[in-house]
Structure 1
Amino acid sequence: MRGAILPADSDQAVLAGRLDLGEGPTPVLIRGGMVEDVSAAAPTVSDLLERDDPAAVRGRPLFAAAELADRGPLLAPVDLQAIKACGVTFAVSAIERVIEEAARGDMDAAAAVRGRLEARVGAGIRSVVPGTPEAASLKAALVEDGMWSQYLEVAIGPDAEVFTKTAVLASVGWGAEIGVRSDSGWNNPEPEIVLVTNSKGRIAGAALGNDVNLRDFEGRSALLLGKAKDNNASCAIGPFIRLFDDGFTMDDVRAAELDLVIEGPEGYRLDGHSSMVQISRDPEELVRQARSEHHYPDGFALFLGTLFAPVQDRDEPGRGFTHKVGDVVTISTPKLGTLVNRVTTSDRAPAWTFGIGALMRNLAERGLLDIGGGAGDGHD
């Protein structure tokens, strides 16, 4: 897999992540062109982000950051964090979800539904602010027209969609295979920014993510969201978490432009884009809604949603896009670097066998566990 991994300004960035150096998952910091092992100070990335200043943690130098691509697949840069996601946060993605619902997950019927729906609600939904009186008026008009949808509710209503994307430690990282269910015939990548918080809800930094989606499953019923979203190897995060500092702030996230390239084994190529400028809800508001009346003692990672919704035909006219085994998906943005994964089916992707119990045993065997306490000793 080719392409630069690190941000374009990596010499000015502090990046947090995980590598398997042969002994087990190891938290690392990357700065000044070097990769440092910080496991002695923070045995998990979750522990690292509990520090008031994670970037100030000093570690053992390992190797030059330029060698990362030669070290094989990277681990996802999160470990004990819950993996949450927000959906339908962009107008275009809202329209596409309504299309899936109206077409009952049938990609052949999607083109006709798309034209009809775009003509009726396209302009209005792009300009309205969720949760405002104007949004309520648009909802009333659509209800009267018989065009209301549960997807439009979370697109322009007061409450954002928040769901659990995958289990703790189930995410894959840069260079790993990413999976779609073997019985899905209509699916796509979703290039997104992922914010990572600590137990107090403080947003420590951001990474890239691929929220792989099965449009046929979710289109048949929103109650199939779990099967559409959470499958083996169906969540990629990486390459690293860029920690917030004076040179990288939430305003950089708000202004981020994500590029997507899909290269198929038959020579197919699709170029896509997602502009955070067009998100309907502010990233900090999404974090607030995700946290809400809940507690995350190890923090959480939050996918922010995507503008990208592929409608270009891949094979037969009118059937749109779907993945093929062997597709290489590249997601990039200058401030966060590049996330690359190759598509396979979830039943053929490497089995997820290293869970929380295995991690705790591994850390104990390496003498890295501090039994004296941690961030989750109490409530906020």
Structure 2
Amino acid sequence: MTTLFPESGLLLARVWNPDARGPSVVTLRDGEVIDITSREAPLVRDICEMDEPADYVRHAHGRSLGAVDKIAAANNHDDAIIHFLAPCDLQSIKACGVTFARSMAERVIEEQAAGDPQKADAIRRRVTASIGDSLRNIVPGSPEAAKVKAALIAEGVWSQYLEVGIGPDAEVFSKAQVLSSVGAGADVGLHPISKWNNPEPEIVLTVSSKGRVVGATLGNDVNLRDVEGRSALLLSKAKDNNASCSIGPAIRLFDESYSLDDVRKAELDLRVVGEDGYVLHGRSSMSEISRDPLDLVSQAMGRHHQYPDGIMLFLGTLFAPTEDRDVPGEGFTHKLGDKVSIASHDLGRLQNTVRLSTEIAPWTFGISHLMRNLAARGLL
């Protein structure tokens, strides 16, 4: 079977189906992509709202659309052929930031450097000397965290990023519009104004409207470090651009073989290969996260904020590349054509190619198009 998907697990995904001129809900069985779209569950959202999503997918009737390997290798920029999409549909795309100590320090550096990579190296040395790894074991919002906050203010290095990193309230933001995420094999986009940017390999939880976590997948929260570093008020411009959110390859539904405890101990491998021969390796360990995934879910949704179609929730990343790619002291930034691969033993591999968001085909298939397509197919 293709290395795109994990060797085991109950998988829920979506493909572009040219015969239907729209998306189909699929699962994988015996090396085949099985279309399980039905009037009962025309959407991934509908399956995730069920009492037992895994049981439904395991026994759902369907028909083969072809071999997994062939469809995974297809050109997903061509709507005339079947190809994989992001596995979510109507879920809102939310993301948590500053959930790891190391990335927390890098956000402070971005802010103090005002988005200038040339200044970041000197500031990194100063901030690390003040903060170090002292935040690693602090429980956010605890009395100990409050004492650290007071000490850092006295040292003159307090930051809004430290506030959400060790304070009581997590950073939760809207990453992308409904249906705008791209899937495995697609191009991901950088806003052309950015000169300092990086991938962010993350686990993404699939959460029902009731706040129940039903599965997980991989995500790339493409980040413009210079834009966000200039001002946190530019977060939306730094995060939400054409094809700047990648999710996939499939949602692994929770069942007897995979649960939230597996998410808590997951290891993610990152590999970036440039057309110039440059290779970057990175690793993110969920065991180092400072807030439990369920805490992040409860802060994202509940009585204070409802999502009738559920959410996809990025959990944040430990990875913050600091090694120099070209200019000494300027750290890492993407170049066009970079191949980004995010891999996990339990969740598969999410691979994308870096382009400019202005040069990638525009997103045109929105919610109204989906509803009309499903209606024309007799699925609504």
TM bucket (normalised to shorter chain) is: over 0.9
**Cα drift, residue 71 of structure 1:** 3.4
Deviations 1:302-337 (A, max 9, x none): 000000000011111111111111000000000000
Letter in 1 for 2:357: S
Tell me which of 312, 323, 347 is aligned to 1:312: 323
Is 2:235 the partner of 1:239? no
DSSP-derived class of the 1:71 partner? coil
**Cα drift, residue 32 of structure 1:** 4.3
Q: Corresponding residue for 1:376?
A: none
Deviations 1:1-43 (A, max 9, x none): xx710113x2xx1101100121211111224443221211311
> Structure 1 60/83 Cα, relative in aligned 2: closer, same or farther at 3 Å?
same
DSSP-derived class of the 2:136 partner? helix
Distance 1:72 1:336 in 2: 22
Identity %: 59
Tell me which of 144, 147, 162 is aligned to 1:137: 147
Distance 1:320 1:170 in 2: 30
- Indicate if the aligned counterparts of 1:96 and 1:309 stay in contact, CA closer than 8 A: yes
Superposed, which structure 2 residues align to 1:1-380 within 5 Å?
4-8=3-7, 10=8, 13-22=9-18, 23=20, 24-40=22-38, 41-57=40-56, 58-62=60-64, 63-73=66-76, 74-292=84-302, 293-369=304-380
Segment of structure 1 superposing worse, 230-239 or 125-134: 125-134
**Cα drift, residue 50 of structure 1:** 1.2
**Cα drift, residue 45 of structure 1:** 0.5
Segment of structure 1 superposing worse, 325-334 or 292-301: 292-301
Q: Over aligned residues, Cα RMSD in angstroms?
A: 1.3
Q: Corresponding residue for 1:375?
A: none
Letter in 2 for 1:343: V
- Indicate if the aligned counterparts of 1:15 and 1:31 stay in contact, CA closer than 8 A: no
Distance 1:88 1:179 in 2: 22
**Cα drift, residue 143 of structure 1:** 0.9
Letter in 2 for 1:206: A
- Indicate if the aligned counterparts of 1:86 and 1:162 stay in contact, CA closer than 8 A: yes
DSSP-derived class of the 2:312 partner? strand
DSSP-derived class of the 2:25 partner? strand
**Cα drift, residue 68 of structure 1:** 3.3
Distance 2:361 2:71 in 1: 21
- Indicate if the aligned counterparts of 1:258 and 1:332 stay in contact, CA closer than 8 A: yes
Deviations 1:174-222 (A, max 9, x none): 0000001111000000000000111111111000000000000000000
Letter in 2 for 1:61: R
Letter in 1 for 2:307: Y
Segment of structure 1 superposing worse, 351-360 or 48-57: 48-57
- Indicate if the aligned counterparts of 1:34 and 1:61 stay in contact, CA closer than 8 A: no
> Runs ≥4 in structure 1, deviation > 4 angstroms?
none
TM-score, normalised with respect to structure 1? 0.94
DSSP-derived class of the 2:262 partner? helix
Q: Which runs of 5+ in 2 are unaligned?
A: 77-83
Distance 1:250 1:368 in 2: 32
Letter in 2 for 1:191: P
TM-score, normalised with respect to structure 2? 0.94
Q: Corresponding residue for 2:79?
A: none
Distance 1:263 1:167 in 2: 28
Letter in 1 for 2:312: A
Q: Which runs of 5+ in 1 are unaligned?
A: 370-380
Distance 2:68 2:53 in 1: 19
Distance 1:118 1:340 in 2: 32
**Cα drift, residue 70 of structure 1:** 3.1
